[in-house]
Structure 1
Amino acid sequence: MRWLLNIWRTLTKPAQYLTLGTVSVSAFLMGVIFWGGFNTALEATNTEEFCISCHSMESMPYKELQETVHWSNHSGVRATCPDCHVPHEWSRKIGRKIEASHDVWGWLLQTVNTPEKFEDKRLEMASREWKRFDRDNSLACKNCHNYDSMKWDSMSKLAQKQMKRAAELDQSCIDCHKGIAHKLPDMGTARAPELIAEVGSGVNGLEVDQSYFTALTKPVYFNEKTDVEAGTLNIATKVKVLELKGNRAKIGIDGWRKKIGAGRVIYYDFGLNILSAQLTKDAALEEGVIQTFEEKEDPMTGLKWQRVEAVIWTDTDYLLSDLQPLWNYARSTYSDSCSVCHTQPDEAHFDANTWPGMFQGMIAFVNMDQDTQALVQKYLQEHSSTFDKSAH
């Protein structure tokens, strides 16, 4: 402790023999040395060589980059890892370096050290980067690509139309160009992590005789024990809990079905192609699963419809007590994703049975997992002119 006290006294004791100029110059030189060392270390971690020194980065995303136009093109200009993933502005660069501590932690825990682990985390990592690009308005892209310098005449008519509109809005590049440098995640089978982060993974402690809404598309089962699936329960479907056993719930699904074949598809309402559940043929024919009530004929198609209740089992997770968070997420997703290429029509512009065809034509230009697609389509159908007469 004595030597520490001596050092402290020395550091805090006023200089007796050094002039103010000497102290100032010494402090300046020490500052220069410190700043030079700090900046050198910063730049050393801001090189492609440093990025791919991690095996998981070299073996996956770096190899994917080599197959794209950002690696090899007619102009000979190549984008490196820091060009896209590290902001050029100093203060934002420091913030990004602090964020990168998460990557170092992942490296220590070997989170993505195998191709299988990498694929499992690809959507999560990509979603995080897409959000960062959106937050920065794709500034990393615009450091090289400038709307004002684009040669419109060399583009196709469709590209001109889309890019000129993007230029007018100063749109974020990532809205349209996901997957331009790395492979896209498997959006078709993902379980909508952004959606679940927004609405939650379900109610803890379901109650019998209460109604809930599905936060994801869920499998249904014949009973509380079997793993044999009896069909699927669509997202944003209202169900009533009839019985609880362990992590399974017996539910009732009210709706309508077309009186054709096994009648295994249950719709939200008479004459409306809004999906609530699809049972397997065996489940639809199983005694006690579907109870039928009234029967009506659709004057538009001549098909007979039956009002039904399906009683089936499902897992207790991803059941919400409130539908509104799902609609809020669907509304914002529709607004953000479907305004990329054009002005999206209002929800009440089409009727419930027209929306599926219109929406399926839109999703070819955006990246949505299957759950989000189903949710947005259902949101559009249930907020269509069929239910909102004010638009027409």
Structure 2
Amino acid sequence: MKWFITLWRTLNKPAKNLTLGAISLSAFLMGIIFWGGFNTALEATNTEAFCISCHSMESKPYQELQSTVHWSNHSGVRATCPDCHVPHNWSRKIGRKIEASHDMWGWLLQTVNTEEKFEAKRLEMASREWKRFDRDNSLACKNCHNYDSMKWDEMSKLAQKQMKRAAELDQSCIDCHKGIAHKLPDMGTSRAPELIAQVGSGESSLTVGESYFSALTKPLFFNEKTDVEAGTLNIATKVKVLEVKGQRAKVGIDGWRKKIGAGRVIYFDFGMNILSAQLSKDAALEPGVMEVFEEQQDPLTGLTWQRVEAQIWVDGDYLVKDLQPLWDYARDTYSSSCSVCHTQPDEAHFDANTWPGMFQGMIAFVNMDQDTQALVQKYLQEHSSTFATSAH
């Protein structure tokens, strides 16, 4: 403490023998030394050797990278950790370094120091990086890959079709190329990893008699053992757990069906084309699967509808207790994705049966996976003028 006080007094004491020029020159030289030292330290932390000095990074992501085309290819060009994960732009680089303090905190607390911990966090970490790539429009990728330099004739017809459309939109590479450098997280049947990172993989245990909502589009089964699918449970559909055996649950799906053919499709409510589940023909005709309670005729179409409950089996994962996080994700996605070209209509601008046609007309201009499409469409239908108190 005495040393610090002495230093402080010395620094605050007016110079007696130094000229203004000497002070300026000294300050200039000290600035160069400081700036050089700062950049040297910055670049020292911006190398692959520094990145993999952490065991959890060397043992998992680095090993995965070595099995990909970014590690070894016919051109001999290798992408290192900072090439992809540290922006080249100086201001963004500094921002990324500040963000990296989160990684240092994780290293200190040994958040991913075992394979089990790493796999448990893989989806969360991957989603964070995908979001960053999307925010920067995959600039890290485009520092090496350029749409204008691509040889379209050497691509397959399918690749040409996809890449030319991406080039026209200057699309973010990460939209289609997740998993190109590292192993994809275990997302079950999901193609909506950010959604699952937000709402989770479902309840740890299911309670008989309680109601849940499907966080993904999920296959249905005839019983608790078979792998033969009996249909599809749509995302954000309410189910009631009737029985639990092992990893599967027998659920009741309430809704309405049109009295046409086998009546395989279950809708959310009478006269509304909001999908809840689609059973196979065999499942719809299987005794004990579908129970009919009442019939009504739709005055608009003349079709007869039946109120039904399907009792069928589904895997117990990705069933969540709270529907609101699904709606929050759908609302944010609709707001951000559908405002690229124009101001999107309010949810209550159309009724439940009009929204599917309108939404499908928009979907060609944005990039959404199938689960997200289905969720956003259902969100719009269930928040449409049909249900809104202040509708158009």
Corresponding residue of 1:18: 18
Structure 1: state its 5+ residue gaps. Answer: 203-211, 220-230, 241-249, 338-346, 385-392
C-alpha distance in 2 between matches for 1:233 and 1:45: 48
The AA in structure 1 aligned to 2:51 is C
Corresponding residue of 2:331: 328
Q: How far does residue 106 in structure 1 lie from its aligned partner after superposition?
A: 1.3
| SS at 1:194 equivalent | helix
C-alpha distance in 2 between matches for 1:182 and 1:367: 22
CA contact (8 A) 2:217 2:232 kept: yes
CA contact (8 A) 1:218 1:234 kept: yes
CA contact (8 A) 1:215 1:326 kept: no
Corresponding residue of 1:51: 51
Q: Which has the higher contact order (CA 8 A, sep 6+)?
A: 1
Map Cα deviations across residues 226-285 of structure 1 (whole Å, 9 max, x no partner).
Answer: xxxxx9975434689xxxxxxxxx999443387999x9974324695822598x99xx94
C-alpha distance in 2 between matches for 1:265 and 1:91: 54
- 2:210 equivalent to 1:216: no
CA contact (8 A) 2:213 2:320 kept: no
| SS at 1:38 equivalent | helix
Corresponding residue of 1:85: 85
C-alpha distance in 1 between matches for 2:117 and 2:171: 33
Map Cα deviations across residues 84-125 of structure 1 (whole Å, 9 max, x no partner).
Answer: 110112111111011011111111222222222222222211
Corresponding residue of 1:171: 171
CA contact (8 A) 2:124 2:197 kept: no
Q: How far does residue 305 in structure 1 lie from its aligned partner after superposition?
A: 5.9
Q: How far does residue 69 in structure 1 lie from its aligned partner after superposition?
A: 1.0
- 2:70 equivalent to 1:70: yes
Corresponding residue of 1:244: none
CA distance 1:275–1:3, shift in 2 (3 Å) = closer
CA contact (8 A) 2:65 2:181 kept: yes
Q: For residues 176-325 of structure 1, what are the structure 2 equivalents within 5 Å?
A: 176-189=176-189, 194-195=194-195, 214=213, 216=215, 234-237=234-237, 253-256=254-257, 266-268=266-268, 269=270, 274-275=275-276, 285=288, 292-294=293-295, 306-308=306-308, 317-320=321-324, 325=328
C-alpha distance in 2 between matches for 1:47 and 1:323: 40
Q: How far does residue 83 in structure 1 lie from its aligned partner after superposition?
A: 0.6
Which deviates more, 79-88 or 51-60?
51-60
Corresponding residue of 1:42: 42
CA contact (8 A) 1:257 1:308 kept: no
Q: How far does residue 200 in structure 1 lie from its aligned partner after superposition?
A: 11
Q: How far does residue 17 in structure 1 lie from its aligned partner after superposition?
A: 0.9
CA contact (8 A) 1:256 1:266 kept: yes
- 2:111 equivalent to 1:111: yes
| SS at 2:67 equivalent | coil
C-alpha distance in 2 between matches for 1:119 and 1:197: 13
Map Cα deviations across residues 318-360 of structure 1 (whole Å, 9 max, x no partner).
Answer: 133x9964653564687599xxxxxxxxx969769xx8xxx9x
C-alpha distance in 2 between matches for 1:336 and 1:117: 38
C-alpha distance in 1 between matches for 2:261 and 2:161: 45
CA contact (8 A) 2:70 2:79 kept: yes
CA distance 1:58–1:130, shift in 2 (3 Å) = same
- 2:97 equivalent to 1:97: yes
The AA in structure 1 aligned to 2:215 is L
* TM-score using structure 1 length: 0.64
CA contact (8 A) 1:126 1:185 kept: yes
| SS at 2:165 equivalent | helix
Q: How far does residue 374 in structure 1 lie from its aligned partner after superposition?
A: 4.7
CA distance 1:323–1:175, shift in 2 (3 Å) = closer
C-alpha distance in 1 between matches for 2:326 and 2:123: 26
| SS at 1:292 equivalent | strand
Count of matched residue positions in the alignment of Structure 1 and Structure 2:
328
Corresponding residue of 2:141: 141
C-alpha distance in 1 between matches for 2:125 and 2:7: 48
CA distance 1:258–1:376, shift in 2 (3 Å) = farther
Q: How far does residue 295 in structure 1 lie from its aligned partner after superposition?
A: 6.7
C-alpha distance in 2 between matches for 1:51 and 1:215: 39
Q: How far does residue 4 in structure 1 lie from its aligned partner after superposition?
A: 4.5
CA distance 1:177–1:93, shift in 2 (3 Å) = same
C-alpha distance in 1 between matches for 2:215 and 2:66: 36
C-alpha distance in 2 between matches for 1:330 and 1:96: 25
The AA in structure 2 aligned to 1:154 is E
CA distance 1:305–1:27, shift in 2 (3 Å) = same
Structure 2: state its 5+ residue gaps. Answer: 203-210, 219-230, 241-250, 341-352, 385-392
CA contact (8 A) 1:271 1:305 kept: no
C-alpha distance in 1 between matches for 2:36 and 2:127: 35
The AA in structure 2 aligned to 1:159 is A
C-alpha distance in 2 between matches for 1:134 and 1:334: 12
